[in-house]
A = this chain, B = another copy of it.
């Protein structure tokens, strides 16, 4: 280690300034999930390797933090949350009314080459509906995905939901002689169409004896008529006034093998970044994971914290919304300034009584010049400062925004006065 204070490659330290950004995101995610009637759950970070190998297939299994624990168990740091959710839902579904509407905000781990928007440790917000096979559940999640973007301040026209249906591709494969065992491999190629050069795609398609043009024609011919489920989703979204946030785009198939029906991804309007969020129906996953002992139709949505925070910082409206929120994150209501060090214990007692009353209070832990104490008060974003000086028990209360002050006589209750002042509007600074 030496003097290397860095975290591992692809991992992040969240000092308070960075943590505040995560907190902003988590609170927005939680607000939207709760408005939509989702309940929070949390799965272990470490799971048996079998659980995730069984499920994800493809790329993910090569990106696992996988090891043997001291008891000889083959374990992984979860690369995403869905297999754990399916496991828990299968075990506990009898204790909850159906459908389950569950959400989680948790850390996930993938051993990838760290790059813009992709790290080895990241947060993921998942919202899933289990036990409801109809398109109304898909529509509910797509509506939620739109509202997450709006909650963060993204306006109409700044993002788009690209909707697709794996069933359309299952039909396409049937029509072109690609049997079920090769479906997943084929869809992995479709998933790459926007990212890989044409030449590479043609090579990848050779074993399937199908032209790139045939695929592109199928994608460009897509309309709302292409799938009954997509039509039902659009009708539902139209009733909510949200259909104009979406476009049908069959090139969206999602990377993971377990999707079975409607799938969708959220993109910034310029499509400059990889997808910001995505989801879809996975009706057989619970059955796969439990070897058929449980079965629950399901549909899910997930957003990571990396791409959305980049997009937020690149977009005027959402950024100023975040900055305004950050300005309100005072770590205390009143800073207690000790103007006379001989009154330290009286100041500590005052801070303590403010805290007992549920108010946030801070004070200098060691003798500090008064002007440095006011600087410290500013740094906490405190709105008020009490000054404890030689005239104690008389106190001064300063409004740090308006720079006005008042004197509290010895008999006054500082808690009541501060409460009253905190309830008052504060002039132009908080306007």
Contacts and interface: CB of A to CB of B under 8 A. Distances in A.
12 contacts: A13-B41, A13-B87, A15-B41, A19-B40, A35-B361, A37-B380, A44-B121, A46-B65, A46-B77, A147-B356, A239-B348, A239-B349
Contacts of A38: 331
A42 interface: yes
Interface residues of A, number: 101
Contact of A46 (B8, B23, B43, B379): B8
A62 B185 CA distance: 44
Interface stretch (A91-99, A195-203, A223-231, A402-410): A91-99
Interface string A65-82: 101111101010100000
Contact of A91 (B13, B43, B95, B362): B13
B355 A36 contact: yes
Interface of A: 1-3, 5-9, 11-17, 19-20, 22-23, 34-48, 50-51, 54, 65, 67-71, 73, 75, 77, 84, 87-88, 90-92, 95-97, 99, 101-102, 107, 109, 111, 121, 129, 132, 134, 136-137, 140, 143, 147, 235-236, 239-242, 289-291, 293-294, 331-332, 345-346, 348-349, 352, 355-356, 358-362, 365-366, 375-376, 379-380
A325 to B, nearest CB: 15
Nearest to A6: B91
Name the residue in A37, A54, A348, A359 with the highest tally of chain B Cβ atoms < 10 Å from its Cβ: A37
B19 A41 contact: yes
B45 A45 contact: yes
